Amino acid sequence: MKPVKLFYLKTCPFCKKALRYIEEAKKAHPELAPVEIEMIEESEEPDVADQYDYYYVPTFYVDGVKVHEGGIYPDEVEKILRQAL
């Protein structure tokens, strides 16, 4: 399985939606449940966040490649999780 990183902010409404969409996708599609996501809260881990090239949150990286940045929809979250399989 490919590693997934999610950069987010606790106060970001789009990030809150992304987290909800992850839970919903894993419940609706059991094959996605094993996908582990390294959660990086950028204000708490600025040294880690500064090593990556992005401007907006939520931002997803799969296997070191940025696959999504900014506002997100449920189908996009499912696609990201499937890329990790």
The DSSP bridge partners found for residue 39 are 6
Paired tokens of 5: 């990183």
Paired tokens of 30: 């059991």
Asked whether the whole model's pTM tops 0.75, one would answer yes
pLDDT tens, position by position, 17-52: 999 999 999 999 999 999 999 999 999 999 999 999
Angle, vertex CA 50, rays to CA 54 and CA 81, nearest 5? 50
What pLDDT score does 79 carry? Answer: 98
What residue ranges do the domains of the chain occupy? 4-84
CATH homologous superfamily for the domain 4-84: Glutaredoxin (3.40.30.10)
Q: What is the layout of strands, in order, in the sheet containing 65-69? A: 37-41, 4-8, 59-62, 65-69
